[in-house]
Amino acid sequence: MATTIFGHRGCPAHEPENSPAGFRYALTHGAEGIETDLHLTKDGVPVIIHDETLHRTTNGTGQVADYTLAELRQFRLPNGECIPTLADFLQLVGTAPVQLNLECQPPLTKVSGL
């Protein structure tokens, strides 16, 4: 039986969780897969963030679903990056030979911007 090495939320031991830098770190350090979580913005855009709220992983407060993507772009992860969209994430991963485990929180029903 083979074991697959996943970067859980990127590589939070080295970069902020669910950050583009964390995903790049995982990809360049041998991750065979990446697990991450999605939430919808007020305007239906899927963004990469674990919690329903902003306060634990960004400098924002409140619910992700209460903000449009444009409004969310004002908040920063601890390394100064913006919360990535699913489109940003997929562009970053590109054609890398990795498995993706995308958890929709709660299940996505009205998605735009893909």
Active site residue 29: no
State the catalytic residue, choosing from 14, 29, 39, 50.
50
Is there a catalytic annotation at residue 50?
yes
- Confirm if 16 and 57 have CB atoms less than 8 A apart: yes
pLDDT value at residue 4: 87
Confidence bin at 112 (pLDDT 50/70/90): low
For residues 27 and 93, what is the distance between their CA atoms, to the nearest angstrom? 8
Token duo for residue 12: 């939070």
Sequence-separated (6 or more) residues with CB below 8 Å from residue 4 = 32, 33, 99
Short-list 13, 89, 77, CA closest to 47: 89
- Tens of pLDDT along 15-26? 999 999 999 999
Over the stretch 38-90, which tens digit does the pLDDT of each residue have? Answer: 999 999 999 999 999 999 999 999 999 999 999 999 999 999 999 999 999 99
